[in-house]
Amino acid sequence: MHRHRPYALVVDDSALIRMDACEIVKEAGFRCYEAATAEQAVELLRKFGQNVQLLFTDVSMPPGKMTGFDLARLCAQGWPEIGILVASGGVTPKSGDMPDDAEFISKPFTNEVVRAHLLKILFEGRRPEPLGAD
């Protein structure tokens, strides 16, 4: 039986990192929405949040006022069914920065690290086929 391919929302101010992250989540079975700022991501969540099963966000995204931590908390409040993965190359989360069920990874990240964290945050029924076939 073929299941539909869910969407991931990848948010990073760096186009190259965003492209790499999209490729990783596509290999895991997702289709990809992209945003360069947390503010753009919020607009996409308002339009397409019902289709999104994963938020994969960077922490620091100038010139926006919101951080990836802000976005993760907003997403958890408004779209609690979405799995959240937060990444940073220079910031480590402190208590209260991230929602309880969110996962944090350091940059640079690898396909294997991302996949391992996706298995932690996405429930069996919410995983795309390629991710569930380990």
Distance CA 107, CA 7 (A): 22
Output the pLDDT for position 97. Answer: 95
- The amino acid occupying position 73 is R
- Among 105, 121, 68, smallest CA distance to 131 is for 121
Determine the average pLDDT of the residues in 50-60: 95
Q: Which residue has the tokens 């932690």?
A: 120
Domains of the chain and CATH, by start:
1-89+103-108 (3.40.50.2300)
Say which residues have a Cβ less than 8 Å from residue 110's Cβ, sequence separation at least 6. Answer: none
Q: DSSP label at 65?
A: S
Residue 101 has φ and ψ, to the nearest 5°, of: -90, 0
- Predicted confidence (pLDDT) at residue 2 exceeds the cutoff of 50: no
User: What tens digit of pLDDT does each residue of 61-120 get?
Assistant: 888 899 999 999 999 999 999 999 999 998 899 999 999 999 999 999 999 999 888 888
Task: Record the pTM.
Answer: 0.91
Token pair for residue 20?
Answer: 């790499």
